[in-house]
Structure 1
Amino acid sequence: MIKNTIIFLFVFGILQISHAQESIENNAFKAGEELKYRVFYSSSLGNLTAGEAILKVEEWKESNSADNKSFFHITGIGNSKGFFDWFYKVRDRFETHIDQETLLPYMFVRRTREGKYKYDDDVFFDRENLLAKSRREIKPIPKDVHDIISALYYLRALSLDNFEQDSTYRLSFYLDDSLYHTTIKYISKGKMKTTWGWIDCLKFSPKVATGEVFSDEYPMAVWVTDDDNHLPIMAESKVVVGSIRMELIEYSGLKNKPAFFREKNKQE
């Protein structure tokens, strides 16, 4: 059930632009990068810390690979905190192994623990035969399909210089033995006030399925740093009751020196 991963998906975004399976120049991230986020829930009762999430990139070498491929092993961990941990405990873990040349995934691992809900899955992406092989299904896939974690890192590596305001872009990802197609809208460039001061950002809005969680097709705004790192720095979204906000609170191991900081007292 896709709705059971909504908090984690919100933290990391589902941001992947469809392209052919080819090498991509990655100037945005490297092995050793670690990002930590805090998630807040706001309602008429006030603001509450809902959870935390960590994204970590490591080097990984396939021992039996005949072509000596190099991979990134990316882990995403999401945990509920405070009142939410007592009310609805979340312990989610997602892992992906992506080719360092194409940034496409070859294996996706999911371990979901949300309240009484439990879901485990392992998906192997057979790129030669264009098949996704999970514990339960074998299904055909397009050659450029991503999982929910690899999608974010693929987008970060893309050149964003030619994005046009209000343009929409096609998205595809594989989750829960299903292939999803959606779009993401590029909104604008601007400055976002954060813990570190003013940051130059690019603003996106992914289209999501309406229903039990979201009442609007474009309820979410995601801000990515307008520099070589393309860090997801902040996200906000209205849900059926209240709203959710995600903020980057710690980072280490960036590929590029941060060049986006502004003085905290600088005015727009």
Structure 2
Amino acid sequence: MKKLILLLLWLPALRGHAQPAGGQSAPEAVFADGEYLEYAISYKVSLVNTDVAGVTFRTAQGRRGDRDVYTVDALGKVYPFYRWFFDLNDSYVSTLDAGTLRPLELKAELREGKYRYSSRYEYDWDEGVVRTTFRNHKNPDSSRRQMPLREGSFDALALFFNLRCADLSELERNGSGTMDLVLEDTIRTIRYRLMGRENKNIRGTGKFRTLKFRCQLATSSGESFEDGSEFTIWISDDRNRIPLYIESPIRVGSIRGRLIEWKNLKYPLDSKMN
């Protein structure tokens, strides 16, 4: 369950390479104040396909000190019927500079059964480092890590909202590439390949024109893709560039996520065919 929730946070980054800072102007934000996206998470094995959880994203524009910022709240929850089996309530809050779309801070609180985990990322772009603090309920003492940043190395939520603003033309020319994902104590590589355009039926939502990507996340050592996560994602082929459907295999069956509700998009969802 946690794996697919994280994948939903990571994968909008597969739209291309953005260069939001480092002397270049930021891409125009394709999301708006008040945007809301909701996904249903399902588990499929054999002929059984059951919705077990939901993930929501809410975006707000505001101020932080002397900066204009976007604040993004992401929340993943198991549906009530399944909480007896596995209770999950994960919250992520990201703050992005509205002018550059660079992340300033990410806070995460994970509550999964009796397990508790909290983390915080603080970005220092002047020094070119990210400082992370993380701890769980078994070890109340915080662990700390400082890692060097490369331009475009962002956490999951920052990738989600930053790179959906990227210019697609470069990706269409190259067909594949890599990007960096900042985690608590490491930076891992995602490798992706554009499979082409596809008309995709999404259960309960409709038929869409999409861009289809196949992706791999490197192992924790960052040296190999052989035992890392694999996943496929379908993205709306319109100016919003939002994830519509995602699928990732597990040892038995697969986990999937699909868009079920959206509000206050900046642009019409022109990719929807019916």
Give the TM bin, normalised by the shorter chain.
Answer: 0.7 to 0.9
Which residue is equivalent to 2:41? 39
Which residue is equivalent to 1:7? 4
Q: Is the 8 A contact 2:145 2:184 kept in 1?
A: no
After the TM superposition, which residues 249-268 of structure 1 pair with which residues of structure 2 at under 5 Å, given as runs? 249-263=260-274
TM-score, normalization: structure 2?
0.84
Deviations along 1:141-167, one digit per CA (max 9) or x if unpaired, are 223321101101122111213433882
Which residue is equivalent to 2:140? none
TM-score, normalization: structure 1?
0.86
Q: Is 136-145 or 100-109 further displaced after alignment?
A: 136-145
Which residue is equivalent to 1:101? 99
Deviation at 1:20, TM superposition (A): 6.3
Deviation at 1:209, TM superposition (A): 4.3
| Superposed CA RMSD | 2.4
| Cα distance change, pair 26–82 in 1 and its aligned pair in 2 (3 A) | same
Deviation at 1:45, TM superposition (A): 7.1
Q: Is the 8 A contact 1:166 1:185 kept in 2?
A: no
| Cα distance change, pair 166–115 in 1 and its aligned pair in 2 (3 A) | farther
Which residue is equivalent to 1:56? 58
SS of residue in 1 equivalent to 2:217: coil
Structure 2 residue corresponding to 1:149, chosen from 157, 176, 181: 157
Q: Which has the higher strand share?
A: 2
Partners of 1:126 and 1:196 in 2: how far apart? Answer: 41
Runs of 4 or more above 4 Å deviation: 214-218
Q: How much identity, in percent, do the aligned residues show?
A: 24
Which residue is equivalent to 1:170? 178
Which residue is equivalent to 2:190? 182
Deviation at 1:210, TM superposition (A): 6.3
Deviations along 1:240-265, one digit per CA (max 9) or x if unpaired, are 111111111110010012212213xx
Q: Is the 8 A contact 1:24 1:157 kept in 2?
A: no
| Cα distance change, pair 181–218 in 1 and its aligned pair in 2 (3 A) | closer
Q: Is the 8 A contact 1:14 1:152 kept in 2?
A: yes
SS of residue in 2 equivalent to 1:11: helix
Partners of 1:27 and 1:179 in 2: how far apart? Answer: 25
SS of residue in 2 equivalent to 1:256: coil
Deviation at 1:10, TM superposition (A): 2.2
Partners of 2:187 and 2:219 in 1: how far apart? Answer: 17
Which residue is equivalent to 1:71? 69
Partners of 2:218 and 2:114 in 1: how far apart? Answer: 23
SS of residue in 1 equivalent to 2:200: strand
Partners of 1:82 and 1:41 in 2: how far apart? Answer: 16
Deviation at 1:215, TM superposition (A): 8.1
Which residue is equivalent to 1:224? 235
Which residue is equivalent to 2:259? 248
Which residue is equivalent to 2:207? 198
| Cα distance change, pair 232–100 in 1 and its aligned pair in 2 (3 A) | same
Q: Is the 8 A contact 2:11 2:233 kept in 1?
A: no
Structure 1 residue corresponding to 2:114, chosen from 103, 113, 116: 116
Deviation at 1:51, TM superposition (A): 0.5
Which residue is equivalent to 2:138? none
Partners of 1:218 and 1:140 in 2: how far apart? Answer: 24
